Amino acid sequence: MSGPALHLAVEIDGDGAHSAAWRRAAHSPDQLLTPRRVARVAAIAENAGFTLITLDDGVLPPGAAPNPVGRIGAVERAAFVAASTSTVGIAPVVPVTYAEPFHVAGQLASLDHISGGRAGWVVTEETHPEASRAWGRPLIADAAARARESRDGVEVARALWDSWEDDAVIRSVATSRYLDRERLHYIDFTSQTYAVKGPAIVPRPPQGQIVVLGGPDRVPAAQLDVALVAGRDLTAVTTAAAAAGTPRVFAEVEVALDTPEATAAERVADLERHASWTDRGRLRHLGSADRLIALLGELSRHVDGVRLHPLVLDEDLPVLSRLVLPALSERRLVARPLPGTSLRSALGLQRPANRFAPAAVQEDAR
């Protein structure tokens, strides 16, 4: 663990963690897919002091009618948010079950350049058979095979981010040379389903390696910077955190908070009339801001951060911003990102050396 300060992340896809959250949103449904909506929510999270925002995604619609059945791609939303924020980290969800890792690596490297080094990547899987048809790819139905695709995808992306050395771009007017081709490298990766030679088409990200987050049950711990661990109670969460084996560990927590208008239980009951709140095996807090503060204080003894999944963003995010984060800050329990720092720096992670650079080669030879 990095220390006593807790890093807080928040998932801001859609209107909230409940599939019927849009029914309690403070905007009309047609505003959900607008740039103004995305920018407003991201600004609230940044001003509150969150270290990171995440943006869920998948090739299939996020829900079924009458719920919203569309979303803008997470990478596209992340790029838009990057231009309108300055301190918060931004991590889109990008499954590589069927997507081409070469293109994913380039998109994420571009996001890191746009954001000035604030990009992350949440690695997940496409589990529905319909996803394979949408991609026009053979179905990967086996859980072990999906885990293999995630593992290989992360390995390819990390190699591609190193395929440009940091000083490969020389921009020499005198010699009319933009690149030093000796500092570009082929990665020559072959898996069971594809081969990638490289190099990348985007220069090395400002962070060197983008912060990779994911479940250690799906991606090997050695490939992750941040493990996202779940459990229905504190014991399960702390056990998973202790076994993660990654530089940083974030707990997954779903929250429904008391508001001036209604209690958490009343708000959940109102939404349950339309659909049940899907059980994803995560710790769930229903109740007051004070009790959540106490829970986060307890979690800070076991994990480096927490990713919050608010029931309804328009109702829970203001309470988090007004009551929870200020109280945690006053108690010095949260780490607020500083202007001009990368996401890696905010999380206390070092910028890794390039595997192809001479200095790195010499270090490995020792």
If phi > 0 it is left, if psi is from -120 to 50 it is alpha, else beta; for residue 129 that is: alpha
For residue 252, list its beta bridge partners: 307
Check pLDDT > 50 for residue 365: no
- Residue corresponding to tokens 């049950």: 217
Per the document, the length of the chain is: 366
- Can you give the pLDDT at residue 359? 60
Check pLDDT > 50 for residue 86: yes
Residues 170-197 have pLDDT tens digits of: 888 888 888 888 999 999 999 999 999 9
Do you find a cis peptide bond into 199, omega within 30 degrees of 0?
yes
**In whole angstroms, what is the distance from residue 260 CA to residue 29 CA?**
23
The rounded mean pLDDT for the chain is 93
Residues 2-57 have pLDDT tens digits of: 455 899 999 999 999 999 999 999 999 889 989 899 999 999 999 999 999 999 99
- Can you give the pLDDT at residue 2? 47
Neighbours of 221 (CB within 10 A): 15
**In whole angstroms, what is the distance from residue 154 CA to residue 95 CA?**
10
Residues 112-129 have pLDDT tens digits of: 999 999 999 999 999 999
155 or 71, higher pLDDT:
155
Kindly tell me the burial class for residue 309, based on how many C-beta atoms sit within 10 Å of its own C-beta (0-12, 13-18, 19 or more): buried
The residue-averaged pLDDT of 119-144 equals 93
Residues 301-359 have pLDDT tens digits of: 999 999 999 999 999 999 999 999 999 999 999 988 999 999 999 999 999 999 998 86
The residue-averaged pLDDT of 129-140 equals 92
Q: Confidence class of residue 265 from pLDDT cuts 50, 70 and 90? A: very high
124 or 217, higher pLDDT:
124
**In whole angstroms, what is the distance from residue 301 CA to residue 266 CA?**
31
**In whole angstroms, what is the distance from residue 148 CA to residue 166 CA?**
30
Note if the pTM is more than 0.75.
yes
% of the chain exceeding 90 in pLDDT: 84
For residue 307, list its beta bridge partners: 9, 252
- Can you give the pLDDT at residue 343? 98
Q: For the chain, what is the largest distance between any 2 Cα atoms, rounded to a whole number of angstroms? A: 70
